[in-house]
Amino acid sequence: MDSRDLKLAKEVWRKLHHTPELSGQETKTKEILKDYLTNYTTLSVVETPDYLYTVYEEKDCEQPQLTICLRADMDAIPDGEGGVFHGCGHDGHSAALFLTALCLERLRQKCKKIGKRVILLWQQAEETGEGARLACPVLLKESVSEIYGCHNIPGYPLGEVLLCKQVFACASKGLILDLHGKQSHAAYPEQGINPGYLIAEIVNKLPIWCEDHKKGLTMASIIEMKVGSENFGISAGNGRLCLTLRAHYQEDLEMLTEAILAYARQQAETSGITMEVSETDAFPDTVNDTALTEKLEQLCIDHALPYTYLPVPMRWSEDFGWYQKKCRGVFFGIGAGEKTPGLHTESYCYPEALLEKAGMIWETIIMH
């Protein structure tokens, strides 16, 4: 790896790190990436409101070329105090992919052929599950046959490739139930319809419903419960229950959703409660192609890249699964250091030293 390229990638990382933007608002982030790509490479750059990508292709090829895509995300997250920070390392992901663009540029300048087309894709809004879904048209437009993505993962040795056969990350969604009963005087609760009791019943049944699905992990996390207000003379007439549902497999997630809604609707109708249902932050399951996972493992072996298989899939979700529903794909982790603070914690920061190792992994994939 060229030391000048690495120095430039670190420069990009620092600029991105100090320009964090929330999902769907990554205007300055895209400007930084586009400026560096146009100033330091001759790759074709395509920009849309939702993503940015480059195209590397070789001329005078006698045979049709395989097209692969490498993907990075770019959005930041709230810091809990009204600010925004790169608490998931997407600044590092984007900078590492820029380093790969510099690698492709050097190949072009040296007239060294790799026998394939390479799409480098920077997408927005991974944190909300929307970015990959909006960027999926790139796969069809550019005839992508294989797509690769990765995420830094603290707690593992720096640069170690973390593989998972089949499911890498969970499917998940936010489920919101708004319940409307009838307010009454607190001294006469029987004259009203308090939705708090139905909310309590649903919450108590969550562990049972989760246990009913045995294909893989299935769980429900209580995010918010709200009934009435702090007024001790009133028995509440309105309530809200917000849950995050997640499962290794999409089918289990949908079965859990249906179990909750079927019970809630039946009990609401019996009790005289009207219910409004909404879903948000939907992520598909991230399921790896077996052959591509084995191919990546062999690359690690052949090129002395440290790797390990994760014992279980990650509980968090990753919108990369939208791509995998369109073409063959593999998602893997890269160890961010055994002592690096956890993702989304206030003290987390993408390790600068990881840029070179991530760049080497991407380079290995595009070269072989």
pLDDT in tens, 276-304: 999 999 999 999 999 999 999 999 999 99
3-state helix/strand/coil string of 102-145 = HHHHHHHHCCCCCCEEEEEEEECCCCCCCHHHHHCHHHHHCCCC
Residue recorded with tokens 């004259």: 191
Query: Where are the chain's structural domains?
Result: 3-169+285-367, 171-283
Compute CA distances 232 → 149, 187, 190, 192, whole Å: 53, 10, 16, 15
Q: What is the pLDDT of residue 213?
A: 66
Nearest one of 88, 114, 79, 118 to 101, comparing CA atoms: 118
Confidence of residue 62 (pLDDT cuts 50, 70, 90): low
Please give the Cα distance from 320 to 313 (Å, whole number).
14
pLDDT in tens, 99-114: 999 999 999 999 999 9
Residue 228 phi/psi, 5° resolution?
A: 60, -150
| Burial grade of 363 (CB within 10 A; 0-12, 13-18, 19 or more) | middle
pLDDT in tens, 11-55: 999 999 999 999 999 999 999 999 999 999 999 999 999 999 999
Domain 3-169+285-367 has CATH 3.40.630.10: yes
Q: What is the pTM of this model?
A: 0.93
b/e sequence 8-31, b meaning 16+ C-beta within 10 Å? bbbebbebbbebbbebbebeebbe
Region 353-366: what's the mean pLDDT? 98
pLDDT in tens, 199-243: 999 999 999 999 876 789 999 999 999 999 999 999 999 999 999
Which tokens belong to 96? 């590492």
Q: Which fold has domain 171-283?
A: Alpha-Beta Plaits (3.30.70)
Angle between helical axes of 354-367 and 90-109 (0-180°, round to 10): 50
